[in-house]
């Protein structure tokens, strides 16, 4: 079953929140023994081709979570390719719903809707603290998402 779950994590620039979200969700799924596909993208074209922000790389490195991504913009085909598209905040969700094609098959939701309904705040113009908070939020949201899709029985691996 897990082979059929594919997730696209989406934010605005695809250099701060969603590459961290992609890295963390991959890591948590692997710890649980779940084989899922995870990618990330941005609603904007601002940073296409760029590596993740240095602060995103730093927080992942500190927590020993591998991060590797080249920024890209969301494509219409993503709505047919992925089973789940997870938006970091409400503005991202609105933009996704605007670009969603008629034949979309992906479930498009605020990632926070799997836990507490909270958005992941944009850390771009702040300090390292914001990136630490994004990382911790992504760990909680990854667990909440995987609990919802696979059930809590897959928990328990440190």
Among residues 32, 60, 122, 138, which one is catalytic? 122
**Which of the 8 DSSP states describes residue 4?**
G
CA neighbor of 5 nearest in space, from 28, 48, 34? 34
Check binding of 80 to ligand 4NP (CB under 6 A). no
Cβ atoms within 10 Å, residue 27: 20
Of 10-18, 94-102, 136-144, 146-154, the window that binds ligand 4NP (rule: CB under 6 A) is 10-18
Q: Verify whether residue 17 is a known catalytic residue.
A: yes
The footprint of ligand 4NP on residues 28-47 (CB under 6 A) is 46
- Which of 8, 15, 25, 96 lies at the binding interface for ligand 4NP (CB under 6 A)? 15
Cβ nearer to ligand 4NP, comparing 5 with 15: 15
Cβ atoms within 10 Å, residue 130: 18
Positive or negative, the CA dihedral 97, 117, 2, 8 is: positive
Binding site for ligand 4NP (CB under 6 A): 11-17, 46, 122, 124
């Amino acid at each position: 079953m897990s082979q059929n779950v594919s997730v696209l994590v989406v934010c605005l620039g695809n250099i701060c929140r969603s590459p961290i979200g992609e890295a963390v969700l991959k890591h948590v799924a692997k710890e649980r023994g779940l084989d899922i596909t995870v990618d990330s993208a941005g609603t904007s074209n601002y940073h296409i081709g760029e590596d993740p922000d240095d602060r995103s790389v730093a927080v992942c490195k500190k927590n020993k979570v591998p991060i590797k991504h080249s920024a890209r913009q969301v494509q219409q085909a993503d709505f047919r390719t992925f089973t789940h598209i997870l938006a970091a905040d409400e503005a991202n969700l609105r933009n996704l719903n605007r670009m969603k094609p008629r034949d979309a098959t992906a479930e498009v939701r605020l990632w926070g809707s799997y836990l507490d309904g909270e958005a992941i705040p944009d850390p771009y113009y702040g300090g390292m603290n914001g990136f630490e908070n994004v990382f911790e939020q992504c760990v909680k949201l990854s667990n909440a998402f995987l609990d919802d899709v696979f059930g809590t029985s897959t928990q328990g691996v440190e």
